Amino acid sequence: MLLEIQNLSKVYGVSCGECLDLTGVADDSCICPVCDSVVAMNRVSLSLDGKEVLGIVGESGSGKSTLLQLIYQDQCPDNGRIFYNGFCDRHGVPLNIFEASVSECSVLRNKEMSMIYQNPRMGLNYLFSAGGNIAEKIIGAGERSYEVVRNRVIELMGRLELPTSRVDNYPDTFSGGQQQRIQIAKALSSSPKLLLLDEPTTGLDLSVQAKLLDLIKELQKEMGFAMIIVSHDLGVINHLTDVTMVMKHGCLVEYGLTDQILEDPQQPYTQLLVSSIL
């Protein structure tokens, strides 16, 4: 098991204490009728194996980005625990990542996991060169040799099919698809075991999307990292993932092998989703 998520909840706003019970699929809302708080994540449990590829689908506002941000510690939950394989306290007891200190978590963020945001502006620093952005993560993981950093930057750019001659140029001078590739090169620079992708191809031209998705799939096979990818495009989910979870109003509606979810959905909401999009 690489990742174990237990009973995770996240409420935006000052909770009345009843929000989790008063919202969800049955109530057809994620807004608490008592206190108006937004329940972005409602008691979600989930586990992920190493090298497994998990897809998250669901309508806008269903909590997909929130889940990735919680895993990446960009956000703090109101409830719940996340365990990561090998992440233990000094007695060797598995440590809930939300109970760990910032410095204990830095190894998770700098080495073990990487996040790729939908908008490259979230994931890249536009005041640094393309190479500088990739170097930042390599240096953050502890590397202090210039030659090692430089060679790894160039190797990764080549692997992402970016022009290595432009390594010292700024992200603004690259196309949208290329900026996303820079973000991926940066994310992969620490050889993470878990890659989190939040709608990585949304907003790109269709032909650019297809190529980028093929490359991500190829890299995943080659490097063997596990992946959680958020997409509202069931084609992407079908193409890339082993297992799929369907979300609505912060709740996990259905979870299973991607083939089964797409061909034989059990929940009415999933049936609607699959029939309307495919």
Partner 1 sequence: MNESVFAFMDEDAKKEIRRTLLKAVAIPGYTVPFASREMPVARGWGTGGLQITLSLLLKRDCIKVIDQGCDGSVNAVNIRDFIASVSGVKQTFSTREATIIQTRHRIPEHKLAEGQILVFQVPYPEVLTTVEPDTEKQKQMHADSDYSKLWVLLYEDTSQFGDSRISNRYPVEVEDHYVMDPSPIPKYDIPRLNNSPALLLFGAGREKRIYAIPPYTKVEPLKFSDRPFKVETFAGKRCGRCGADNVFLDEVRQGTTSLYFCSDTEYCDSILTEQGDVTGNTESE
Ligand X SMILES: Nc1ncnc2c1ncn2[C@@H]1O[C@H](COP(=O)(O)OP(=O)(O)O)[C@@H](O)[C@H]1O
Of the ranges 54-62, 151-159, 251-259, 262-270, which one interacts with ligand X (CB under 6 A)? 54-62
CA pair distance 261, 233, nearest whole angstrom: 14
SS (HEC) of the chain = CCEEEEEEEEEECCCCCCHHHHCECCCCECECCCCCCEEEEEEEEEEECCCCEEEEEECCCCCHHHHHHHHCCCCCCCEEEEEECCCECCCCCECCHHHCCHHHHHHHHHHHEEEECCCHHHHCCCCCCHHHHHHHHHHHCCCCCHHHHHHHHHHHHHHCCCCHHHCCCCHHHCCHHHHHHHHHHHHHCCCCCEEEEECCCCCCCHHHHHHHHHHHHHHHHHHCCEEEEECCCHHHHHHHCCEEEEEECCEEEEEEEHHHHHHCCCCHHHHHHHHHHC
Q: Is 69 in the site for Mg ion (CB under 5 A)?
A: no
Residue 131 binds which one of ligand X, Mg ion, partner 1, none, with CB within 5 to 8 A depending on kind? partner 1
Work out whether 61 is an interface residue with ligand X (CB under 6 A). yes
For ligand X, the closer CB: 164 or 202: 202
Which residues are registered as beta bridge partners of 197? 116, 229
Q: Does 76 bind ligand X (CB under 6 A)?
A: no
Using CB under 5 A, pick the residue from 23, 65, 189, 241 that binds Mg ion. Answer: 65
* Residue 81 or 232 with smaller CB distance to Mg ion: 232
**Identified binder of ligand X from the candidate list 26, 28, 60, 276, rule CB under 6 A:** 60
Taking CB under 6 A as the rule, does residue 244 contact ligand X?
no
Nearer to Mg ion, 9 or 65 (CB): 65
Asked if residue 63 binds ligand X (CB under 6 A), the reply is: yes
Rounded to an integer, what distance in angstroms lies between the CA atom of residue 133 and that of residue 201? Answer: 20
276 near ligand X (CB under 6 A): no
Q: Is 186 in the site for ligand X (CB under 6 A)?
A: no
d(CA 229, CA 234): 11
**Per CB under 6 A, which of residues 14..43 are in contact with ligand X?**
30, 38, 40
Span near ligand X by CB under 6 A; candidates 64-72, 165-173, 209-217, 236-244? 64-72
Does position 137 bind ligand X by CB under 6 A?
no
**Toward Mg ion, which CB reaches closer, 9 or 189?**
9
Tokens 């993981």 map to which residue? 141
Residue placing its CB nearer to partner 1 in the complex, 127 or 206: 127
Cβ of residue 12: shortest distance to ligand X, in angstroms?
3
- Contact partner, 171, from partner 1, ligand X, Mg ion, none, Cβ < 5-8 Å per class: none
Interface residues with Mg ion (CB under 5 A) are: 65
**Residue numbers of the site for ligand X (CB under 6 A)?**
12, 30, 38, 40, 58, 60-66
